Amino acid sequence: QLPQGSPRPHSRRLDRLLLHPLVGPLLFLAIVLLMFQAIYALGAPLQELMGGLFDGLRDRLLQPLLQAIGTPELLRSFLVDGVWLGVSTVMSFLPIIFLFYLMLAIVEDSGYLPRAAFLMDGFMHGLGLDGRAFVLQVMGFGCNVPAIMGTRVIRDRGMRLLAMLVIPFALCQARLTVFVYLAAVFFPKPWWAPGLVVFGFYLMSFAAVIITGLLFKRAYPSREAFVLELPPYRKPSLQTMLRRAWREMTTFLVTTCGFIVGGAALVWLLTNLPLQTVAGAGPTFANRIGGLLDPVLAPIGMTPDLSVALVFGFIAKEILLGAMAVIEHSSEAGLGTVLRASITPLQALSFMTFTLLYTPCLSTVAVQIKEAKSRLFALRSVLWSLSLAWIAALLVFQGGRLFGLAGP
């Protein structure tokens, strides 16, 4: 319920507009679209600059240093083409992560987020959820793990489990970096196209929430009431927003550093072992994994290399692009050229669709087990997300082929 009195008349006028049942949702979508356009417009050039910087460090410092100290060729390849390529590719996306959290801080600190929850409460109620689940879904844009932990504010177990089932479909910042990069590589023109592609996947994530809510709301019924007090509008503090964005970016770097290094190293090993395969004597372990998955993933347009990257994306989406760089033996600066030569834009869209909808990471599965106190629930979540991801990617790829969009 809206407060009856307000010491600030302009707040009441804003609420009449932002909480209007028709205009309000349209304005919310416009704000989100503007956010993604700003992230791409500002972040993409910074990401390219970071990628060029890391390539320069590799060529002018790392490789000469390893050669000077007499590092064996195999070890040098492991360090440069494995660990360094994977880590530097992920590190180049730090500006995009910083900008994402900066935009999110503006939405939260201004007092708009609770109003968005109030606005969406009626819609979420039809899915067996309420406005709190919508707020947690927005929190999931940063990371799904704390958003799932935040379901503790929901006392009703049925609604809480349903919220934990839909939150993993939120387009987290790890997946956002993948989408921003691939959208810029395959859909660079006109200038607004990459941001619109990313926004389209944001809408797809909400479509996944709607489908999941409608299918599972009877399995996890709830009747808990939702009460929300709307805070006054505030002018966000630039210092506070910058501090928060910096903290979140550094937290991302610290918490995922082990995953990134370990994942990049493992990808190199899989693409270079057994050693006799380097001379063309047989398939590498990565080739074998790709071939094993081919009957399942080929119908949705996945090549063996993309299939292997998706396997590592199951561990953590943060290492997905790093894994692709190692698999393709390319730095961040050259990865786009390699990908454009090996897959079509339609395959890229299918890959992005599957990446959006299948299990975000092992950390998400772990926290689902902990919060739900049920391994069966976590298994159901994983199987459902994999099934929905495959079906959606199949519709995108085969539907695109049907309309002649497969490309050369």
pLDDT 10s digits, 361-396 = 888 898 999 999 999 999 999 999 999 999 999 999
CA distance 299 to 291: 13
More confident residue, 264 or 206: 206
CA distance 245 to 102: 5
3-class DSSP assignment, residue 5:
coil
Q: In the chain, count H helices and then E strands.
A: 20, 0
Residue pair 120/131 in contact (Cβ under 8 Å)? The answer is yes
Tell me: the pLDDT tens digits for 237-260?
999 999 999 998 888 888 777 777
Chain-centroid distance, C-alpha 404:
28
pTM over 0.75: yes
CA distance 329 to 319: 15
Share of the chain above pLDDT 70, in %: 94
Torsion of CA 72, 76, 77, 83, to 10 degrees: 140
Residues 6+ apart with CB under 8 A from 229: 3, 114
Per-residue pLDDT band for 90 (boundaries 50, 70, 90) equals confident
CA distance 180 to 201: 11
9 preceded by a cis bond (ω within 30 of 0): no
Two tokens at 144?
A: 């799904």
Q: What value does the mean pLDDT take over residues 278-296?
A: 81
CA distance 78 to 266: 10
Other residues' Cβ atoms within 10 Å of the Cβ of residue 1: 8
